[in-house]
Amino acid sequence: MGDMTARVAIIGGGPTGIGVARELIAGGVAFDLYEAEADFGGVWNGEAACGRTYRSLHLISPKFNTQLPDFPMPEDYPPYPDHRQMLRYIRACAREFGLYERTRFNAAVETLVPEGDGWRLTSTAGHDAHYRLVVVCNGLQRVPRFPDPAYPGRFEGEVLHAHDYKSADQLRGRKVLVVGGGNSGCDIAVDAIRTAESVHHSTRRGYYYQPKFIDGKPTPQWMLELGNKFASKEETLAYIEAVFRLAGYDGADYGLPRPDYPLDGAHPVMNSLLLYHIGHGDVVPKGDVAGFPGSTARFVDGSEAAFDLVLYATGYRRDFPFLDPGLLQWKGDIPDLFLHSTPRNHDNLLFMGFINAAGGLGDGLKTQGLFVLSYAKALFGRTAGLERFLAAKRTDAPDLGQAYFIQSYRHQWEADLWKLLGHMRRYRDMLADNGETKAAAE
């Protein structure tokens, strides 16, 4: 047993855990990082159980805003690196920041139980220690999620989830139905045409499909460089839509339903190939599934088609197997976290990396890490800033842009990135207010 009075536990060695650890090192705060696998990487660790990669996978966010500003990716990386390059970069970050010697590998956290002014943590590798602050960074993509309620009937063929997908070889010669309109569903539908006998793609609504390049630049860079060219946000979005349409990326031109939300009202679907292959008949678009009579899928428009394999790209649920769910407050089926990071009913527990936002990793990683550093210092010093923050998190309702996005499971944790980062900086400044510490007053 150990008493880590002024020590932080970080759970998870993916990009967020690495980013948090880096800032704690720079700020002189001691920590232990627990990683369930044998090396860093999180979802990019394709050979591990936590990996969510497949052979053809590339980033949907470009290199320029995925890399850390002060630790750029190698110059020979393409604008959209593949998953192997991303994994090498993550591990290079960990080496550069000195994290390998501070991390406990093959040490999945088994239990996390409130004890005194902190948490008692045990791991599968035999660790048993008390920490004043625990930062959970085990990621959003934990447990495969299927349509709920399930579609009527029972499909008699093979059923996979994107979680199980590793390469198009799994689909060779099969009649495939891909269900799900997010980036994974679109990517896998395109990947499947190389080996499958046929590919149908089922989506529930209309989507905006954004090309990966415009005017010879990654599309997010092109949009960023528009700056204040137009007088209003509405004019800017109208111009972007017009350019996408001219470039051949309006789904309605291919018979797909028009989106019933603004261009920036959902997480972006970055795919240059799906509409191309729909236009060539390689991918057959369908609406939502109405049910499965045997090996046949019936769609909401009344049409039917026979399939050998259904692949669900319908997202993931968060999972904290080490933590009793009753210890958290819930909002629907996700934890109720202030700034998507801070439980309102626990002052010594943080959840970092539990947001979706239209931006690259580099935009938010440092801000999140610095927030944790400020919080740890305030907690350990029992500062006036901490007391102000603890009062604020129980009453404040900062606008993160949440109401702007479409209503869906995944968009429960979608945020306007710039609003979120701005609020995190504001509350970080609040935490940094030393004032007179409680300890000194006592």
Task: Specify the CATH superfamily of domain 146-312.
Answer: FAD/NAD(P)-binding domain (3.50.50.60)
- 103: β partners: 33
Average pLDDT, the chain: 93
Average pLDDT for residues 366-377, to the nearest whole number? 95
Quote the pLDDT of residue 435: 65
Residue 109 pairs in a beta bridge with: 123
Domain ranges across the chain:
2-143+317-441, 146-312
| pTM for the model | 0.93
Round to whole Å and give the CA distance between 32 and 102.
Answer: 6
pLDDT range class, residue 359, cuts 50, 70, 90: confident
CATH among 3.50.50.60, 2.60.120.620, 3.20.20.370, 3.40.50.720 for 2-143+317-441 = 3.50.50.60
Cβ atoms of residues 53 and 43 within 8 Å: yes
Kindly state the tokens that stand for 289.
């599934």
Please give the average per-residue pLDDT across 171-197, as a whole number: 97
CA dist., res. 328 & res. 307, Å (int): 42
Rounded Cα distance, 297 and 303, in Å: 8
Greatest mean pLDDT among 292-301, 331-340, 410-419: 292-301
State the chain's maximal CA–CA distance in angstroms: 74
How far apart (Å, rounded) are the C-alpha atoms in residues 332 and 34? 29
Per residue, the 3-state secondary structure of 162-173, as one string, reads HHHCCCHHHHCC
Strand partners, 217: 214
Question: Could you tell me the pLDDT band of residue 174, with boundaries at 50, 70 and 90?
Answer: very high
Q: What is the pLDDT of residue 438?
A: 43
d(CA 387, CA 54): 46
| Cα(43)–Cα(150) distance, integer angstroms | 26
Decide if 84 contacts 378 (C-beta within 8 A).
no
pLDDT grade for 413, boundaries at 50, 70 and 90: confident
Q: Are 180 and 315 in contact (CB under 8 A)?
A: yes
Residue 171: count other Cβ atoms within 10 Å of its Cβ.
Answer: 25
pLDDT for the residue 363: 74
d(CA 287, CA 300): 6
Amino acid at 367: T
Rounded Cα distance between 283 and 247, Å, is 20
Q: Which of 218, 206, 225, 248 is nearest to 59 (CA)?
A: 218
Helix (H, G, I), strand (E, B) or coil at 68: strand
Q: At what angle do helices 384-395 and 417-431 cross, to 10 degrees?
A: 140
Angle, nearest 10°, between helix axes 83-96 and 15-26?
A: 20
pLDDT at residue number 141:
86
Mean pLDDT of 23-37: 97
Length of the chain: 442
pLDDT of residue 5: 66
Q: d(Cα 93, Cα 17) in Å, to the nearest integer? A: 11
**Cα 66 to Cα 410: distance, rounded to the nearest angstrom:** 21
What is the C-alpha end-to-end distance of the chain, expressed in Å? 30
